[in-house]
Amino acid sequence: MDELIYTFNFQNYFDEYIVIHKRANDKVGEVIKEYLNKVQKSNLFLNLNIDNIYFVYNARKIIQSDYEKKIDEYFGKRAIYLILVENNYSKINYEIIDTIKDNIFTSVYKAKLVNQNGGDKYVAVKKIYKDRIKKEMKLSKCKEITEEDFKPEIIKFNREIENMKKCYCENSVEIIDYYDNEKEFIIIMELCDDTLFDVLCRTEKGFSPQEIRQILLELNNVFKRMNEYNISHRDIKLNNILVKYLNEERTKFKILLSDYGVSNHLNSITQNYSTHAGNQLIMAPEILNDEKYNNKCDLWSLGIIIYQLYTKEYPYHAPVEKGILNQINKKGKTVLNDIKDEQLKDLLSKLLEKNPKKRISWEDYFNHQFFGEKGKSNNNNDNCNIF
């Protein structure tokens, strides 16, 4: 089945995942070519080959023009608009400058886009190595890995892209392009300057409640998007929260959530996963206990990182998952005894509730008194000396 040939980056226009088929319809192709010829000078369609149109479906309608009516004549309510590229590779050229992080299966690089008008532009390039994944799968399954065996990894990559698109806002890392080839899955993204973990390490005593409030108010923009689509990030940690400085003095900045690699769309209660997603130190007790869970697992992780920002320590830590569970059961909320700010303490108490049914809801979290009236604060990051 010739599906998933290529997914082009239209995050500003599509909220849903796009599937591109190799099957083309001549009549529809002519309509789309006519449209592309009209707009091909725009940045959006600059790199498209209009002689190579493929059939696309299940995307949200976006083009409000006479061409929409023409396409509707052939596809009715399922009408979709555009798009395709000639081959399964990116039209964006880049040069690797430096390594940001390097893990077993994934590396992230700083890169410079080449042939760009208007000066140098730098991006982050995430590479997920297929050969390393297949090697690990071969060791665990004790057999050669077939295309069918590898399909879950393709689904995982496509889900990461889909969730990045759905959650995109000013406080979520922007995706610029994505594609895969024989060796790698590749995502080209907005480049940031720092991780919140590195910023925290440079502080002497952690962050004040006012500084934590400012950080959370920015992150709440993307958390609301996640909540709207019932998406669980499942790996909310300080290394995945990035900082982008907007001036040399670092008095203006943006906080952005990144790395949707293990994110998923969750029903009210979802099934257990075959492997635990995320870092065990920020993992919710229900996941550690192999229980069914929902997107409240992210609220627990959020409680962990807020505690970290205030104390520079994890509230519960042990080398193995069972040890962390023992710490949670033994210490409970006594870890909050040294939190001086009463509103912050109350918020943490409700986030670090080990029973997910009693844990604060996302709606109540957004409206918590810690954030001020209607979740807004008088603080302005222009006056914030966090960095």
Structural domain containing residue 35: 1-87
- Say what the pLDDT of residue 374 is: 52
What total of structural domains would you count in the chain?
A: 3
> Which residue in 48, 22, 23 sits closest to 35, CA to CA?
48
Q: Looking at 87, 105, 127, which one is the last position of a domain?
A: 87
- Is the domain of 244 the same as that of 364? yes
Q: Looking at 42, 65, 87, which one is the last position of a domain?
A: 87
Higher pLDDT, 97 or 27: 97
pTM for the predicted model, two decimal places = 0.74
- Is the domain of 261 the same as that of 364? yes
Residue 40 in contact with residue 48, Cβ under 8 Å? yes
- Say what the pLDDT of residue 375 is: 52
Q: How far is CA 8 from the centre of its chain?
A: 17
Q: Looking at 33, 63, 87, which one is the last position of a domain?
A: 87
β-bridge mates for residue 242, sequence order: 195, 256
Residue 109 in contact with residue 96, Cβ under 8 Å? yes
% of the chain with per-residue pLDDT over 90 = 47
Q: Span 89-112, mean pLDDT?
A: 86
- Is the domain of 310 the same as that of 374? yes
Residue 52 in contact with residue 86, Cβ under 8 Å? yes
- Is the domain of 199 the same as that of 296? yes
In 246-269, which positions are buried (b, 16+ CB within 10 angstroms) versus exposed (e)?
Answer: eeeebbebbbbbbbbbbbbebeee
Query: What angle, 0 to 180 degrees and rounded to 10, lies between the N-to-C axes of helices 342-351 and 209-228?
Result: 30
- Is the domain of 234 the same as that of 108? no
- Is the domain of 335 the same as that of 208? yes
- Is the domain of 183 the same as that of 201? no
Higher pLDDT, 53 or 169: 169
Measure the CA–CA gap between 300 and 259, rounded to whole angstroms: 18
- Is the domain of 11 the same as that of 44? yes
Measure the CA–CA gap between 161 and 180, rounded to whole angstroms: 12
β-bridge mates for residue 308, sequence order: none
Backbone angles phi, psi at 91, to 5 degrees: -90, 0
- Say what the pLDDT of residue 248 is: 87
Backbone angles phi, psi at 30, to 5 degrees: -65, -40
The per-type count for the chain, helices as H runs and strands as E runs, is 11, 12
Residue 313 has pLDDT above 50, yes or no: yes
Instruction: Work out the number of other CB atoms within 10 angstroms of the CB of residue 338.
Output: 9
- Is the domain of 138 the same as that of 233? no
- Is the domain of 1 the same as that of 115? no
- Is the domain of 108 the same as that of 180? yes
- Is the domain of 200 the same as that of 157? no
CATH number at residue 103: 3.30.200.20
Residue 349 in contact with residue 336, Cβ under 8 Å? yes
Residue 49: partners with Cβ closer than 8 Å, 6 or more residues away: 85, 86
- Say what the pLDDT of residue 113 is: 85
Q: How far is CA 111 from CA 188, 259, 335, 377, in A?
A: 9, 17, 42, 36
